[in-house]
Every structure is written in structure tokens, then in C-alpha cells.
Structure 1
Amino acid sequence: MTSEAVVENAERSEPGPPPEEPRGRRRRRSRRGGVLAAAAVVAAGGVAVVATLGLGGGGPDGGAAATGLPPNTAQVTKQTLKDTEEADGELGYGPATTASSRLRGTLTALPESGSTISRGKPLYYVDDDPVVLMYGSKPAYRPMRVGTEGADVKQLEKNLSALGYDGFTVDDEYTSGTAAAVREWQDDRGLPQTGSVELGRVVFAPGAIRVDGVDAAEGDPVQPGSKVLTYTGTAKAVTVELETSDRRLAKKGAQVEVTLPGERTVTARIDEVSTVIEQGDAPDAEPTTKIEVVIWLTGEEARKAAKDLELASVDVAFTAETRENVLTVPVTALLALREGGFGVEVVSGGRSSYVPVETGLFAGGRVEISGAGITEGTVVGVPK
């Protein structure tokens, strides 16, 4: 994948033997009799490298007139450059979350993998009493009873209200009205009508869930901390693992293009970016660090396109940087000037001259340039 261009400066010492050329490229000879220092961008190992192909021996001086014309030319064009890179992704339901018991007892009923559970429905049973799913971003962490105050109380009351219970104000205070609604809810679920919610009776998740896997079996004893199952959301998501060197591609909120099976391409945005450490397969293997990117396919077009797909491999195109309406030339038009920096050979009126330029973004075989006299339509030399 492409990252920032790395420039290898030409040596200022006396000319020595010609350097070894990259395979498949030829050195261009200056019409002044020496080796013209040409520049090429070589994509290798994810790094774009600007490397000089010749040193000394009469290389071009900035602004100096050439005595002949280049074999080929190209025009300076104004366009939008995008530093776009592709990576492999996996279509699924996003990262899985573990649901652990906070109760002691025996598992008496469990859901099947792949089943969907919504608000107010049992997630699993301990001693024949249901552990119920409710919606919220804050995990349950304490018992709730009359006098308890906090964001978790408000979260519980929102769920009770959404399930049709009333007689209380949805706020952060657990009142006698809340307790009455809880007793009614407990009666409907076949639970002891205590008016208090014990820790572990409710599991909060952001929304409806899909059971990803079951980590226990009916009849297993459980205690606080025992893993019961893993779950995901119900929306489709694409997960991509990037090398840490490609962190620049993973910007939360950035737009990406996802190519699904059947060559259907949809637009989405990066929702989550996290660093994960993966243990090696062998006991003595060093762990590796990866950047995990999650892209939820929640847009209408994306949802429809992924509706009938389950687990699948996809391609994700990341755009790390965009430069709009900039002047560009083919990368091969760049020349490494003897006095340092880069230039292009401008062709005009049957003559050519070397003009220093500043370089910007490299992308798609082209490079952003700017310099005195460089305008849209300027003709520059390129090698054969």
C-alpha cells in the first residue's frame, strides 16, 4: 500500500560508475552528453519511493535550456488525486461481545447460535429464571432498588417504558413508582416480585443481538464471571485488519468503498478503529499488533446489497488523502536536478528547458507539482 513518498537525494560527490538500474527501466541520456538524473516512483512493500536513476555527469541544472527535444511529451493536467489503497475484508456482523453470568446457579436453557434476541426477551436461563436483554450502552454493574440513582437507572426506566410499563418518570432516580413497574415486569417474566433488579438479571446491549456462539451447555454450573455466550449486532459489518504502518488509512468517519461478491460496490464509513494484539500460534511466537477497522453497512443501499449475504470476503478501498484540482504530471516526467530537488522538462516553441518544481501527493502513477510557469496544458517531456 502507498504511504508518504520517500525521497533519496542524489549524491553531490564526483561521478562514479553508473548505479544499477531498476529492472525494466533505461537511463535517459542528456542531450548535453551526460547521464540525465531521471526519477521514478517504485511501489514496494507499501512505500512509494522516489529514487534517482543517474548521478552527476552533466545532469540538468534548474532553468537551463536543453539542446534537443524529449522523445515523448505529456500535458500538465488539473485533476483530483486520491491516495487510495485496497485491503481484504470480511463481511459478517462485526466483533463479538462476551456475555458472562453475574449470577450463581445452573444453566437451564440457552439460545441457539445464529438466533436473534430483542428487547425484553430472555437471553438465557439460570435456575429456570430468565436473564433478560435490554438496550443500553452502559453495562449493568450493581443491583438497582428504591433510592439508587444514576445513568443505569435511567437506562432501565427507558426500557421499562419502551416495554409498556408506566407509573414513573424516566430519569436517573429509582423511585417507588419504578419499583412498582419492576414488580409488574417481574410478574410477567415469572420472577419473584421484589421490586428490585438484582445484578445479573438484565444484560444491556446497544440493540437487538445475534447469538454468535455458545460457550456453555445446559446443566453447566455458573458463577459471576462464567462465560455463557458471545453475541454481535444484527446489522451487517465489514471487518478489516491493517498493519500498524497503515494506520493513516483508518480514520473514524472516513468514507470507503466496499466491493461485495458479484462486484457490487457500495459506499460506507468507518465506524470503529481499534488496536488488537494477536498471539502467535507457537508458544514462543511473538504477538503481533494489528489495526482493526469495523465498517457497519447501515446505509439503505449497503443494507440491501448485503441482505442476502452471510460470511464473505470483500475488498475495501480506503482513501487516505485527497487533493482536489491540483496540477499533475506522470511520475516519470520528474527529473532529479543536480543542485537538488526535482524538476520537469518543459517543451515550448521547438525548444525545452528544465524547470524546478515542488512535488505533492503521489497517486495512481501521477504526482502533484507546482512551480514558476507551470500551468494547466504545459507540455513536459517523458521518457520512452
Structure 2
Amino acid sequence: MAATAVEAPAVERLPRRRGRRGAAVAAVAALVAGAAVVIWLGIAGGRSSGDAAANTLPPDTTQVTRRTLKDAHTADGELGYGTTSTATSRLPGTLTYLPDTSARITRNQPLYKLNNKPVTLMYGHTPAYRNLAAGVEGPDVKQLEQNLRALGYSGFTVDEEYTESTATAVKRWQEDQGLDETGVVELGRVVFAPAAIRIAGLQAAQGDPVAPGQRILSYTETAKAVTVQLDTADQRMAKKGAAVTVTLPDDSSVGGHISEVTTVIQPGEAQGDDPKTKVEVVVTLDNQKAADAYMLASVDVTFTAAERKNVLTVPVAALLALREGGFGVEVVQKDTSRYVPVRTGLFSDGSVEISGDGIAEGTTVGMPK
């Protein structure tokens, strides 16, 4: 049963033109709500809430429905191993060892060797940028000490101070690595990555002379991941940690979560074309085994920026601009109708969440042709 609209003070009635939803469109507002761009069409001069519609009923009607609305977007993605990083030498020498492509390297294993001395992988988020020696302080010192402790070395405190005790532990580590026991970790002897890595490609060959700044190899994480390029208009979808759904080539679905979000600039496809700004999203799969059958593959990724469950909705086209501000709908009851103000919520797929006095599931509202 349709609810009764809220009464309002008497106002001048606006004439209705037969076959149209009022006079010429006067209010056109572009709203970014949950990043969905919606065009709202109002009536010339607007309508006042409580006004009774004159002359004829609207040309078409629909009903207020109760449903779940999602601000969702599906984009193409590439299944692989996520973002690729590059290991660049900070030391001179000759390459005497390189790992195989696709090899998995873990903490304290050599990434490559220069002059038969290893450049070793350790775990951490801060890249190496200086020599580490007694007297140095900072988070990079703590990062090194955390790795030494994880490898079983002791006799020092894990903090941000590189003490003589730290240097003693480093000497023991250097002895085990076949390095000169200086107690100083020279820049370029250790490469830090957040976790174990997978060798993605080689940019140099065994036997090559190497100078500081030369690229040696590229690597990724070891877990399968999906990379998606989103338009900036869809940036609201890219929230780190947010859950997504990945549809694999066999149409099966697997959950995932956004692990990285970065802005990238793509050069123009042809000379003179402007570069494009994209939002690059890396999605880590929650179930790695689900993607075991695929090394590289094109997949679909569904992002959900917002969800409203069990809400009242109408088509966006049913909204009207009200003279006193805000929006309303034309509630139809038998052979009469009345303009009723509403509060709007989430917009999705041509529908909008609404609420307000006189609005209930099954309420009949006017629609344009």
C-alpha cells in the first residue's frame, strides 16, 4: 500500500505539459557519488515538496524496490607475479654467478656474485643506500640486525645503533659468506626485498664486466598476483587491503585483496599523443592453488567500492529537483500524485538509494518516457 506524502504549506501549482515530465530541463547537476557520475534532471523552476501534480498523471511509473546496491567495477587484469623490481649493482666487478630465470631466492642466498663474492638477499622495506659500520644509526641498521638475528647471529641488541657488538656479528656473517671480515657492510653487498623473490629476467650475462648503476636482473614476489590498470575516474575502487573477486580463464572465481596501489604515467601511443595517467593495482590471490594451472593469463577483476544491503531504490531518472533544494520523487496514488522529498544514498547501475517520509517498498513513483 502506497504511503501518504508529507503535507507542505500551500504553494503555487506548476502546470504540467501533457506527454512530458514538466517544462524544459533547467537543472542538470553532475554528482560524483561513490565515484559514479550521475546526471540529475530537474524541472524548470523546480517543484515544491507537497505540491500536488496538476492535469495528468506521469507518462510512466515504477515502484520503489528493496535490494542491495553495489558500487562495483570489473576491469581486465593480467595474472602473473605482480610488480617487477630491478636489482642494480652498486659495486664494480665481473659477474661470476647468476641465478636461473624463475629461481626462488630466500634470505641470505646470493642474488648474483661479483668477483666470486655474493651480493646477498635480505628482508626489509628500506633499500640499502649507504655503508653500515660502527657508529651509524637509523632504521636501516635495525633492518640489518633483524636479519642477522633471524639467521642465528647474536651478541648484539636489535635497535637502530650499529655498535661494536653489531660489527662483531657482521664479521661472523662475513666469514660464513666468504667475504673479507671487516665488520662493515659496504653499499651494494646486500639487496633488501620484503620477502622471498622470484627471478623474472636477466639483464646481464655471466662474465660481463659490471659498473655501479648497471642493471643485473629483475625480480618479483613469489606469490601469484594480478595487475590491473584502472582509469583515474575509477580510483575510488583502489583501496589498499580491499577485497576483490578474480575470475580466472576457466570462469572459476577466487578471492583476493589489493596489496599495492601506484600511479603510473603511460606515454602516448603515437607521436604527439598526450601521456595517460593510470592507477596500477596489484591484487594478491587469497588461494594461490586456484591459479596453479596458469603461469600468465588474462583475468577479470571485480572491485567493490561500496555496498548497501536491503535499501529502498528507484531508477535515477525518477529523481526530481525540488524548488527548496534537494531532490524528490513524484508519488502516485490512484488518480493523483504528489512530490515527496527524499534523501539519496548510493548510486549504482542506474539506480539510487532513497529514504524519507512517505517512501516505502512498493510505493509507486512517476517516470519520464
TM-score, normalized by length of structure 2?
Answer: 0.81
Q: Letter of the aligned partner of 2:303 in structure 1? A: F
Q: 2:234 is matched with which residue? A: 246
Q: Which moved more, 1:272-281 or 1:68-77?
A: 68-77
Assess, with a 3 A threshold, how the Cα gap between structure 1 residues 383 and 127 changes in structure 2: closer, same or farther: same
Assess, with a 3 A threshold, how the Cα gap between structure 1 residues 70 and 278 changes in structure 2: closer, same or farther: closer
Distance 2:358 2:97 in 1: 78
Give the CA RMSD over aligned residues.
3.3
Assess, with a 3 A threshold, how the Cα gap between structure 1 residues 376 and 164 changes in structure 2: closer, same or farther: same
Q: Letter of the aligned partner of 1:162 in structure 2? A: A
Q: 1:7 is matched with which residue? A: none
Q: 1:320 is matched with which residue? A: 305
Distance 1:283 1:219 in 2: 39
Q: 1:109 is matched with which residue? A: 97
Q: Letter of the aligned partner of 2:188 in structure 1? A: G
Q: Does 2:84 align with 1:84?
A: no
Q: Letter of the aligned partner of 2:104 in structure 1? A: T
8 A contact 1:67–1:352 mirrored in 2: no
The aligned runs of 1:156-305 (5 Å cut-off) are 156-297=144-285, 299=286, 302-305=287-290
Q: Which whole-Å deviations, capped at 9, do the CAs of 1:72-106 have from their partners, x for residues lacking one?
A: 65432333322111111111111111111011111
Distance 1:81 1:379 in 2: 20
Which of structures 1 and 2 has the larger relative contact order (alpha carbons within 8 angstroms, sep 6+)? 2
Q: Which moved more, 1:175-184 or 1:351-360?
A: 351-360
SS at the partner of 1:169? coil
Assess, with a 3 A threshold, how the Cα gap between structure 1 residues 179 and 356 changes in structure 2: closer, same or farther: closer
Assess, with a 3 A threshold, how the Cα gap between structure 1 residues 37 and 256 changes in structure 2: closer, same or farther: farther
Assess, with a 3 A threshold, how the Cα gap between structure 1 residues 164 and 347 changes in structure 2: closer, same or farther: same
SS at the partner of 1:271? strand
Assess, with a 3 A threshold, how the Cα gap between structure 1 residues 261 and 34 changes in structure 2: closer, same or farther: closer
Distance 1:280 1:332 in 2: 38
Q: Which moved more, 1:232-241 or 1:350-359?
A: 350-359
After TM superposition, give the deviation of residue 119 of structure 1 in Å.
0.4
Q: Letter of the aligned partner of 2:365 in structure 1? A: V
SS at the partner of 2:298? strand
Q: Which moved more, 1:346-355 or 1:330-339?
A: 330-339
Q: Which whole-Å deviations, capped at 9, do the CAs of 1:277-307 have from their partners, x for residues lacking one?
A: 122344544322211112222x3xx323234
Q: 1:33 is matched with which residue? A: 18
8 A contact 2:145–2:166 mirrored in 1: yes
Q: Which whole-Å deviations, capped at 9, do the CAs of 1:238-274 have from their partners, x for residues lacking one?
A: 2111122222222223332222222222333322222
Q: Which moved more, 1:59-68 or 1:82-91?
A: 59-68
SS at the partner of 1:197? coil
Q: Letter of the aligned partner of 1:194 in structure 2? A: T
Assess, with a 3 A threshold, how the Cα gap between structure 1 residues 55 and 216 changes in structure 2: closer, same or farther: same
Distance 1:149 1:331 in 2: 60
Q: 1:380 is matched with which residue? A: 365
Which structure 1 residue ranges, 5 or more long, are not aligned?
Answer: 1-29, 41-45
Distance 2:106 2:260 in 1: 23
Assess, with a 3 A threshold, how the Cα gap between structure 1 residues 345 and 179 changes in structure 2: closer, same or farther: closer
Distance 2:150 2:112 in 1: 21
Assess, with a 3 A threshold, how the Cα gap between structure 1 residues 284 and 111 changes in structure 2: closer, same or farther: farther
Q: Does 2:346 align with 1:361?
A: yes
SS at the partner of 2:144? helix
Equivalent residue for 2:331, pick from 346, 352, 356:
346
Q: Does 2:129 align with 1:141?
A: yes
Distance 2:57 2:194 in 1: 67
Distance 2:289 2:307 in 1: 29
Q: How many residues align?
A: 346
Distance 2:353 2:162 in 1: 62
Q: 1:49 is matched with which residue? A: 39
Q: Does 2:363 align with 1:370?
A: no
Distance 1:282 1:65 in 2: 56
Q: Does 2:140 align with 1:152?
A: yes
Which structure 2 residue ranges, 5 or more long, are not aligned?
Answer: 1-14, 29-35
Q: Which moved more, 1:245-254 or 1:214-223?
A: 245-254
8 A contact 2:86–2:215 mirrored in 1: yes
Q: Which moved more, 1:220-229 or 1:331-340?
A: 331-340
8 A contact 1:116–1:208 mirrored in 2: yes
Q: Letter of the aligned partner of 1:231 in structure 2? A: Y
After TM superposition, give the deviation of residue 276 of structure 1 in Å.
0.9
Assess, with a 3 A threshold, how the Cα gap between structure 1 residues 282 and 345 changes in structure 2: closer, same or farther: closer
After TM superposition, give the deviation of residue 221 of structure 1 in Å.
1.5
After TM superposition, give the deviation of residue 342 of structure 1 in Å.
5.3
8 A contact 2:124–2:195 mirrored in 1: yes
